[in-house]
Structure 1
Amino acid sequence: MSRSSGDRSEAGNAAADRAAVEPLAALVAVLAVGAALGLYVVALDDATVDREQPGAETTLDRVERTAMVGGVVEPDRLRDAEPFRYPTTATVEADGTTWRIKSGEDAPERAGTGDGTTAVAERSVTVRVAPGQNVRGTLRVVVRR
């Protein structure tokens, strides 16, 4: 029979078959979207800033602005930094020499690695070690929480 013969039953079944989705495939798709959203929420939660703790990065930016002149850190200018809100130790290490300032009575002894009680931030900077002599060094800040 041809389409023009008037047999509508065959045409009606074809339309219904095209719109159908397997229930198992739909369930798998819903589970995949749900899992993706769950992973996104977990990643987003880990990426947010913890506002409860003092920020070592913010303190590092402040110390760098205070000590830097013309893109070069002058270690003697560390003393010009205003007192910090939290106990802080700022250290500049370059060419085998270390310059350190402490702020607060409970300032960390060494600008070491972070643990549960301290936040650490550091970055590579150019340091003036003598007039006309600049070397690469490290500016590190440790903030006690």
Structure 2
Amino acid sequence: MSFWSGRAQVEPLAALAAVLAVCIGLTLYAGAVEAALVSLSPDRAVAPTAADRLVTTASSFGSMVVPLGPNASSARPAGYELNATVVADGSTWTVGPTPPDASECARRRVSVRIDPATVRPGTLEVCVWPVA
């Protein structure tokens, strides 16, 4: 018998439950911090961050997949409305409510996958404004 055989060990199920509890706690904490930051700094530049997040969530193998659909709602910052418009190859895809004149907008050059074998250069414009 080895020297370590008398030491206590944790059951695998208990260890997985502990890791799950820590992950849930970190997720809840991150959500609370994001909600608090929106109310603390209303003058921060939100549109560039939302545009980058939308490009990340709506891209597959380096090109944006249209229509944007649920990817736009997952990129929407807490406390803001979002409108995203992609223009490529003479076509336009828009998701979200019509932005007011006072909205903050950001533009990005992106590759857009129009068909499974067709990728064209395009422009993404993301506009955000506080929820009224």
Range of TM-score over shorter length: 0.5 to 0.7
Does 2:53 correspond to 1:62?
Answer: yes
2: CA distance between counterparts of 1:130 and 1:79?
16
2: CA distance between counterparts of 1:87 and 1:66?
17
> Could you list the runs of 5+ residues in structure 2 that have no partner in the other structure?
1-40
Does 2:77 correspond to 1:87?
Answer: no
> Could you list the runs of 5+ residues in structure 1 that have no partner in the other structure?
1-50
1:52 to 42, 49, 56: 42
Distance change (3 Å), C-alpha of 1:124 and 1:83: closer
Alignment-mate amino acid for residue 70 of structure 2: D
Alignment-mate amino acid for residue 86 of structure 2: V
Does 2:99 correspond to 1:99?
Answer: no
Partner of 1:22: none
Does 2:129 correspond to 1:135?
Answer: no
Alignment of 1:25-36 (within 5 A): none
TM-score by length of 2: 0.58
- TM-superposed deviation, 1:83: 6.7
Equivalent residues of 1:56, 1:121 under 8 A apart: yes
TM-score by length of 1: 0.53
Q: Secondary structure at the match of 1:87?
A: strand
Equivalent residues of 2:64, 2:112 under 8 A apart: yes
Quick check: which has more Rg, 1 or 2?
Answer: 1
Equivalent residues of 2:50, 2:75 under 8 A apart: no
- TM-superposed deviation, 1:80: 2.4
1: CA distance between counterparts of 2:63 and 2:75?
22
Q: Residues 6-49 of structure 1: CA distance to partner in whole angstroms, max 9, x if unpaired?
A: xxxxxxxxxxxxxxxxxxxxxxxxxxxxxxxxxxxxxxxxxxxx
The sequence identity of aligned pairs, in percent, is 34
Does 2:107 correspond to 1:125?
Answer: no
- TM-superposed deviation, 1:71: 0.6
Equivalent residues of 2:110, 2:121 under 8 A apart: yes
Alignment of 1:12-51 (within 5 A): 51=41
